[in-house]
Amino acid sequence: MGSKELLEQALTLKPEEKAMLIEGLLNSLDEPDSRLDSLWAEEAEKRLRAYREGRLQAVPLEKVFRA
């Protein structure tokens, strides 16, 4: 079944069924992705190491928000 057919079918639902469907779909988008969490943790460690080794300059918070 294609997305167009799914939408057509969802539009025939009762309001409370639509709300339940929407809530379920939104919750599925919020599921943590351990692979992404791991990649971000690695990136943060690389950046911290580069900063401590002097290979990366820090930017003051005020400057970040001014840009």
Read off the pLDDT of each residue in 32-59 and give the average, rounded to a whole number.
93
pLDDT of residue 61: 93
Checking if the pLDDT of 67 tops 80, the result is no
- Same domain for 47 and 22: no
The pTM of the full predicted model, rounded to 2 decimals, is 0.49
Kindly state whether residues 23 and 46 are assigned to the same domain.
no
> Which one, of 4, 1, 6, lies nearest residue 21 by Cα?
6
pLDDT score for 45: 97
| Pair 66, 37 in one domain | yes
Specify whether 5 is located in the same domain as 25: yes
Query: Same domain, yes or no, for 15 and 40?
Result: no
Residues 3 and 22 in one domain: yes
Number of domains in the chain: 2
In this prediction, residue 31 carries a pLDDT of: 78
Range of the domain at 20: 1-31
CA 10 → CA 22, 23, 25, 65, distances in Å? Answer: 10, 13, 12, 43
